[in-house]
Amino acid sequence: MDIVTRDAHTISRRQISENALKVLYRLSKSGYKAYLVGGGVRDILLGMEPKDFDVVTNATPEEIKKLFRNSRLVGRRFRLAHIVFGRDVIEVATFRGHHGETDDKISKSNAEGRLLRDNVYGEIDEDAERRDFTINALYYDISDYSIHSYGGGIRDLDDRTIRLIGDPETRYREDPVRMLRAVRFATKLDMSIESKTAEPINALAPLLKDIPAARMYEEVLKLFFAGKAKANYDMMRDFGLFQPLFPQISALIKEQPNGNTAKMLNAVMTNTDLRVSQDKPVTPAFFYAALLWYPLKQRADDIALESGLSHYDAHVAAMGDVMEQQCRTISIPRRFSTPAKDIWQLQLRLERSQGTRAFKLLEHPKFRAAYDLLLLRGEAEGGNIGKIATWWKSFVEADETERSDIAKSSNKKGPSRNRNAHQRKRRRPKPKSDNSGSSEVKPTNKG
């Protein structure tokens, strides 16, 4: 352990949030040890603005709760205290200790070595050894403003190296999400993953399948919604980490490495990063709708072939199948999965609504997201979808007078309208179409 005194580092209390300082000082004045730890220390030393300020102490969660009336205890796997200041939450953890002959009530792991419960308390040295990467084993001591660096954390910060503390395979088995964290820190901080830390990842990547889907949802947000989506996606592909999270997408890319699915993935990741850099909103509903579009299309084709359902009915049936399968690895909340299905359903209407019907579609609350997906499809596929996307682009970007002219012109010679008319002509001779289940189904707004 190295101690960097106040005069030898650049951290100032002005760079630490007022609420974090309140927590640190109250713990210290009450006789407890108190440190700012991890990302908050790391980011300040790198000249970045920290997103969170986490505190670690030798006070137990129950003692912390007694000390702060505005606190609540959370977590089963790791027992933590959240000190609430309005919308600002300071997370306070008790020093972790090493596992020994402990009771199952405080510590438990499964057959693969993954920690299921871990409420073993110890001292700061033990806590540092239990942290994942050396660059996160940095402790700012509020009592004398020094930094305690463990495992060469300061050196690795200077060398821009991501290094695990302890045996990499053991640490990944304890918590497979550490493999995703290694990737995320490498791209976020523009660092390289040390060779011993990187070596076991490909072999251990399948362990991610055992992580609860709800936890994985939060990890995906960190990976793809912070401005490094494309870099994280590329590195995850290299390490075999993308397939356990998105098996349907990975299967299609494996079949056609340069196909429409791969093109869509690259476009979505690049566009997401662009929107983040421009401070534009990004939403999981559109993200998952775009990523899963081609798995949905394939599943709809399979259902239509197997069951004889119409294209529309097969599309609707496939939406539930594809979303359900994705939620087995990443739990997508209904507030996002439902609008994602709306975006999918609107694709069919966009494909056949050139002309005056386009005006009504413009009023749909999910039109813009569906339109953006159509443009991505047009870039990936070209052909007829490319022509439809180009028509919609000209229609959306036109003024009111121009839109009327474009719509009227499309009513006469639009490619989608003519194609549908031809299909209707071919169906006319069929008797009893009302009872056959094969007549055209009008799209609805139901998800």
Residues serving a catalytic function are: 52, 54, 132
Backbone angles phi, psi at 395, to 5 degrees: -70, -45
Closest CA to 409 of 339, 447, 341, 356: 356
Q: State the Cα–Cα distance between residues 326 and 56, nearest whole angstrom.
A: 36
Are 315 and 370 contacting, i.e. CB atoms less than 8 angstroms apart? no
In the 3-class helix/strand/coil scheme, how is the chain assigned residue by residue?
Answer: CEEECHHHCCCCHHHCCHHHHHHHHHHHHCCCCEEEECHHHHHHHCCCCCCCCEEEECCCHHHHHHHCCCEEEECCCCCEEEEEECCEEEEEEECECCCCCCCCCCEEECCCCCEEEECCECCHHHHHHHCCEHHHCEEEECCCCCEEECCCHHHHHHHCEECECCCHHHHHHHCCHHHHHHHHHHHHCCCEECHHHHCCHHHHHHHHHHCCHHHHHHHHHHHHCCCCHHHHHHHHHHHCCHHHHCHHHHHHHHHCCCCHHHHHHHHHHHHHHHHHHCCCCCCHHHHHHHHCHHHHHHHHHHHHHHHCCCHHHHHHHHHHHHHHHHCCCCCCCHHHHHHHHHHHHHHHHHHHCCCCHHHHHHCCCCHHHHHHHHHHHHHHHCHHHHHHHHHHHHHHHCCHHHHHHHHHHHHHHCHHHHHHHHHHHHHCCCCCHHHHCCCCCCCCCCC
- Tell me the angle at which helices 334-352 and 383-397 cross, rounded to the nearest 10 degrees: 100
Closest CA to 157 of 35, 52, 48: 48
Contacts of 238 (CB under 8 A, 6+ apart): none
Are 17 and 40 contacting, i.e. CB atoms less than 8 angstroms apart? no
Backbone angles phi, psi at 168, to 5 degrees: -55, -45
